[in-house]
Amino acid sequence: MTPTPGQASDATPDPDALQPLLPADPSALAGYRLLGRLGAGGMGVVYLGRTDTGALAAVKVTHADQADQADFRARFRREVEAARRVVSPWAVPVTGADPDAPEPWMATAFVPGPSLGEAVRAHGPLPERSARILGGAVARALAAVHAAGLVHRDVKPGNVLLAVDGPRLIDFGIARATGETGLTSTDMVVGTPGFLAPEQAEARAADIGPAADVFALGCLLAFAATGRPPFGSGALDALLYRTVHDEPDLAGVPEGLLDLVRQCLAKEPSARPTAEEIAGRLTEDTPGAPADWLPAPVVATIAARSAAMLALPDIDPTAPGTDPAGPAAPAPSRRGFLLLGASAAAVLAAGGGAYALLRQREDTDGKNPAPTTRTTWSIGVLADLSGPAREIGRAQERGARLAVERFNAVHKGKPFTLELKVSDDRGDRAGAFAAARRLTSDPSVLAVLGPTSDDTGIAALPAFEEAGVPLLTTSAGYHLLTLRAGSGPQNTTVLRAIPSHFMAGTFLAWSTTLLPQVRHPGVLQERTDDNYSWQYVSGARYGFRQAGLKPHFRVVPGRATDYRRIIGEMIDAGIDTYIHCGVRSTAVLAARALNELGFTGPRFTGQHVFGPQFLKEAGSAAEGWFVCAPVIDPVQRAADPKQKAADRKLTQDFLDAHRKRYGTTPAFYTGESFDVVNLVTTWLATSAGKGPLTRKGLWQALRTQKYTGAMGGYSFDKDADLAGVGTFLYGVQKGAYKYLGPAPGGPANTKSATSKKS
């Protein structure tokens, strides 16, 4: 199936982000003076326009190459006709259009307010009264849509604008006449996953009617009241699956709205109320005095945007296209001056650091080589040292520090020494970019170990891409760190020294096939960390398919706590093995429930559960679990007679160095971090005499390395992902993890692939 989100071009961006017109843009169109760009995409451009009377409009103009396609022009004409058929004070009206122009265009009234999505992200969920007013107004708009014989099909937070006198429904780009299916492919999902009905998620075109909009309205109300979609977020396939099969997560929906939202979210279209019925149930809540229906912060946002509209430049005294009475140059606007002043102030405030970054960019562009006189270079560590994953982050820092100290001891008296520079991102996505910039703006930093978590990695990645600094991770498995979606740029920044979560899920599934009694595994996906769990489930699904097994899948919200009921239902379905695709806290709940229910089958889980905290929190309920993780216990590896003597010595040397430096046995992830930094320093040592060291070309050089360290061998494929397996199996015995060996590289009854570390 191919999900097709609705066009978002009618949405109103922040006027502060209004972009100037480009030289190729028209200055006027059909009576609208164009003031700037509101947005642009592959389909066309949306301009902010103004009539001679001062009325503002969002003017959408399609690209000429799109207009040359007969089906596109037909869709655009249908959008115009659909929008014109809807008459409601709660729907944004069309103020002009020409679908037959060389570049078809349509203008709608401009609403200088945020979308519901923007408002909730910036200021949090709406109070109950605001949500009720919102629902009533959107229901009235939908009632008008349905009365016109249409189905909107893309009711979502981005398509509802907030104004002082009430909300406005926008974007009829994928609206259809009721019962119309001829222009929709039977296998195409139309709408926005997370805000569409089960019949849309399954592409049942014949069943998509007004009730689908009501389901979306239920999702919209839940989002407005709680700040999150009722079926979670993450991968599109996961959202579609949960929409069809899972119950919505309505925790936090006010009691006064709960029954109505539940009725809207009924799986069967016939069980949902009509938009008109919903409007009738919410009639007591309509906006009174302007703006009294919204929280004060949202009203302030609307006021600020309205003021920005008043500050836009006046219409030229001469009509566009005519010669003014002289060649005087345009005076700079106060707005432009303020923007220029702010930019200059930011650069000056950055001081020497900004200048150093500029020099570093010059040094690495090939035109101005880095100076050869530098005597100190740095390896950076970006890690969670004080947040939720601080145990892993601190282990990573210790491993990196040991590697840097080893380099300086071995290469004493060489042309340069190494320093370790550490930046704590606190496990906070919001501060991860700034934490990364503290390292990437330092011209001495050649490469960075990190991050500790997926979320901080995604947030920090632009800083590394901008500066050209290689980022090597031993714990972040999110696939988009190395794999770009669609036509996105190719990865030239990250080297991932662990499997992606998808591959880890595949290895987890194959690990279960080592046990001959496994015939009907049960896989639980819980959505606390949705990206992680969905990737693990996707990998497990693939692995079990390869093994010829058909699992029983169950999806639950991250806030679910009644694991006795959830797992009881899975046991009743006949599962003989339990696989937990979720985080540690819910694995603890699952472990206790399995014990209470007397389940005696094998229990498996993955990376986010592995660690001493699971053993501590689950207690005796952890006994007998199998856990797959991307790390090896160095003590067990050093004592493993299956390892070569030389490899055991490398591991023992690492153990001795750690005990000498820190007085303890190393925690998990320390050895892998030690190895990965050694991979970098080994290359630096062999390359120092061949020319000046710079960041330029370092990622490509590291990607081709084949390195054997204390914890095994490392090499990377063309996408800079770890080559081989790299996942290891542990069993919980007597309250401790017992290392059982590398996970199989295929189902147990097939030939296994070569593992990363042997």
Catalytic residues: 154
3-state DSSP assignment of residue 732 = strand
Asked if residue 730 lies in contact with residue 629, where contact means CB atoms within 8 angstroms, the answer is yes
Distance between start and end Cα atoms, the chain: 41
Edge-to-edge strand order for the sheet containing 728-733? 552-556, 521-526, 577-581, 603-605, 625-629, 728-733, 736-742
Question: Using an 8 Å Cβ cutoff, are 401 and 441 in contact?
Answer: no
Q: Helix (H, G, I), strand (E, B), or coil: what is residue 230?
A: coil
Written as one letter, the residue type at 214 is V
C-alpha distances in angstroms, 50 versus 53, 54, 84, 238? 8, 6, 20, 43
H helix and E strand count, the chain:
23, 26
Which amino acid belongs to residue 211? Answer: A
Alpha carbon distance 48, 546 (integer Å): 54
- 3-class DSSP state for residue 399? helix
Cα separation, 130 vs 124, whole angstroms: 12
- Cα→Cα distances 392→398, 678, 718, Å: 10, 19, 28
Instruction: Round to whole Å and give the CA distance between 496 and 461.
Output: 13
Is residue 172 helix, strand or coil? Answer: coil
Instruction: Give ∠ CA 573-578-580 in degrees, rounded to 5.
Output: 120
The residues, ordered by sequence, that sit 6+ positions from 240 with a Cβ below 8 Å of its Cβ are: 1, 3, 189, 193, 201, 202
Distance separating alpha carbons of residues 552 and 566, to the nearest angstrom: 13
Cα separation values, 544 from 518, 571, 596, Å:
11, 19, 28
- Kindly compute the dihedral angle of the four CA atoms of residues 201, 204, 206, 211, in this order, to the nearest 10 degrees: -30
Which of 459, 461, 464, 429 is CA-nearest to residue 445? 464
- What are the φ and ψ backbone dihedral angles of 170, each rounded to 5 degrees? -130, 175
Which ranges of 28-125 would DSSP assign to H, the alpha helix?
64-67, 70-85, 116-123
Alpha-carbon Rg of the chain, whole angstroms? 29
Q: Is 484 helix (H, G, I), strand (E, B) or coil?
A: coil
Burial class (CB in 10 A: 0-12, 13-18, 19+), 248: buried
| CA proximity to 626, closest of 606, 598, 650 | 606
Using the structure block, give the residue that is written with the tokens 């009725």. 263
Distance CA 666, CA 126 (A): 48
Distance CA 362, CA 374 (A): 16
The helix, strand and coil proportions of the chain, stated in percent and rounded to the nearest 5, come to: 40, 15, 40
Sheet with 417-424, side-by-side order of all strands: 417-424, 376-383, 445-449, 471-473, 494-496
Looking only at the bridges linking them, the beta strands covering 32-40 and 28-29 are antiparallel
